């Protein structure tokens, strides 16, 4: 099936979330890690779900990630996830690891599931121990009957985010409606490979384990790993996908004739969440999208796109609505990728500013007006190759400095 045909079969579910797929419940509550806001979220599947995960590349990997990876490795399935915000449980040594294990045990006991089918995640301040008395009380308060409280899970996982991030789509496979939902958090320290970012994806599709794992890795590379806010990579990043099979479709794998439909649906969820994270960057006022074409390979295009979107000079110019295209070509030039500067073309939206490595006349005020929009798209062509990619980020504002200058206070 063609890529376009698969895309045409995707339906966005209005107000969809992680509970849109059959058999998933989620909720959130306040257990005292933060002053007033929800700070403990939970996600539950009524039956064990095939699971896969992708994790931060930061060598200081937080304790919850180690515990969750251990759970998935045990049986490649999960049934429940608990997430706390406010404290990252990172760089916390043996005590922190013991606390993460205790969180997993408490969750497994709460839902009466095998230990290895429980997972944990944390986000927030690095270097502080979790107040386990509050965590114990919070997990004890989990009530499945309150699972439909609007945005409770999405709210509980936030830190400096200004809004919840959620989505759900449906596709038809084997004559069955398959639903894929997702929730995410992320606002600062975003330079995924991954970054201060958590994403939880649910689906009622019946999917073979290895195929689900490879699909998640592929789509993470093209979505979450193509966003940047500030170039920093955190200790706690994780993307989890749970597939409980309750849509009752035939087992999906690479050989299934409608595998591409599922892939496109999964990618759409990842892409929307990734863009929402980029749009909600700390202090951001604009979403910036960079399209790169003509590179030697897709991987080369990805590197170039990330270099442009990560450039503080590009980000500040966009914040000031300054059409300073020189900063864009500079970022292309130091990307380390093979290209001929005489082939490079750059456009701000539909406004051409560079053609074949040379500036072109353009209306300065028109360009300023375009860059003042809340979504800015930069198009670049760097050669005659087939490699292409899209990256997302945001502008860099005075507000970003204010937020991060006082993060601990």
User: What CATH number is associated with residue 162?
Assistant: 3.60.70.12
Same domain as 272, residue 354:
no
Which pLDDT score is estimated for 229? 62
Q: How far apart are CA 326 and CA 333, in angstroms?
A: 10
Residue finishing a domain among 279, 299, 320: 279
In the chain (409 residues long), the average pLDDT of successive 10-residue segments reads 62 96 97 94 97 85 94 96 95 96 98 98 93 97 73 92 93 97 75 63 98 95 81 76 98 96 97 89 82 97 94 93 96 95 97 97 97 96 97 80 59
CATH of the domain at 345: 3.10.20.340
Which pLDDT score is estimated for 58? 73
User: Whole domain around residue 17: which residue ranges?
Assistant: 3-279
Q: How far apart are CA 9 and CA 266, in angstroms?
A: 12
Same domain as 211, residue 153:
yes
* Total count of domains within the chain: 2
Residues marked active site are found at 196
Closest by alpha carbon to 121, among 78, 56, 63? 63
Same domain as 294, residue 227:
no
Same domain as 189, residue 168:
yes
Same domain as 317, residue 254:
no
Would the CA dihedral through 148, 154, 159, 161 be positive or negative?
A: negative
Same domain as 213, residue 164:
yes
Residue finishing a domain among 279, 307, 332: 279
Closest by alpha carbon to 38, among 104, 105, 100, 85? 85
User: What secondary structure does DSSP assign to 260-314, as a single string?
Assistant: HHHHHHHHHHHHHHHHHHHHT-TT---EEEEEEEEESSHHHHHHHHHHHHH-HHH
Same domain as 248, residue 173:
yes
Same domain as 196, residue 312:
no
Same domain as 140, residue 43:
yes
Same domain as 300, residue 207:
no
User: How many other CB atoms sit within 10 Å of the CB of residue 226?
Assistant: 24
Alpha helices, DSSP H, located in 115-208: 132-141, 152-156
Degrees (nearest 5) of the Cα angle 12, 188, 55?
70
Closest by alpha carbon to 269, among 207, 211, 196, 215? 215
Residue finishing a domain among 227, 259, 279: 279
Phi/psi of residue 86, nearest 5 degrees: 100, -40
Same domain as 250, residue 342:
no
Same domain as 400, residue 259:
no
């Amino acid at each position: 099936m063609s890529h376009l045909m698969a895309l045409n079969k995707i339906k966005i579910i209005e107000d969809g979330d992680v509970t849109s797929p059959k058999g998933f419940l989620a909720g959130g509550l306040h257990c005292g890690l933060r002053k007033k806001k929800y700070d403990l979220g939970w996600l539950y599947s009524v039956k064990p779900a095939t699971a896969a995960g992708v994790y931060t590349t930061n060598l200081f990997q937080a304790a919850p990630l180690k515990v969750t990876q251990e759970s998935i490795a045990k049986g490649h399935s999960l049934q429940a996830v608990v997430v706390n915000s406010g404290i990252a449980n990172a760089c916390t040594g043996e005590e922190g690891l013991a606390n993460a294990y205790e969180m997993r045990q408490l969750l497994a006991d709460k839902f009466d599931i095998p230990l290895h089918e429980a997972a944990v995640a944390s986000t927030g301040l690095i270097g502080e121990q979790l107040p386990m008395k509050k965590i114990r009380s919070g997990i004890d308060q989990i009530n499945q009957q309150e699972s439909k409280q609007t945005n409770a899970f999405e709210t509980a996982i936030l830190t400096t985010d200004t809004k919840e991030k959620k989505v759900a789509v449906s596709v038809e496979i084997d004559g069955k409606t398959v639903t894929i939902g997702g929730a995410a958090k992320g606002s600062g320290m975003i330079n995924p490979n991954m970054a201060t970012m958590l994403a939880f994806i649910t689906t009622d599709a019946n999917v073979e384990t290895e195929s689900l794992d490879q699909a998640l890795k592929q789509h993470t590379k093209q979505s979450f790993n193509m966003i940047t806010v500030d170039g920093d990579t955190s200790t706690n990043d994780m993307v989890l996908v749970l597939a409980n099979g309750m849509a009752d479709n035939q087992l999906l794998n690479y050989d299934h004739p409608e595998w591409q439909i599922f892939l496109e649906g999964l990618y759409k969820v990842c892409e929307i969440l990734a863009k929402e994270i980029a749009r909600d960057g700390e202090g951001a006022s604009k979403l910036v999208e960079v399209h790169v074409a003509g590179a030697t390979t897709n991987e080369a295009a990805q590197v170039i796109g990330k270099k442009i979107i990560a450039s503080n000079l590009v980000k500040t110019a966009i914040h000031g609505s300054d059409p300073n295209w020189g900063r864009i070509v500079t970022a292309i030039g130091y990307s380390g990728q093979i290209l001929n500067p005489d082939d490079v073309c750059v456009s701000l939206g539909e406004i051409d500013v560079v053609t074949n490595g040379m500036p072109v006349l353009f209306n300065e005020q028109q360009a300023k007006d375009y860059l003042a929009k809340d979504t800015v798209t930069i198009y670049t062509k760097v050669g005659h190759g087939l490699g292409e990619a899209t990256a997302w980020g945001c502008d860099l504002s005075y507000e970003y400095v204010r937020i991060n200058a006082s993060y601990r206070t």
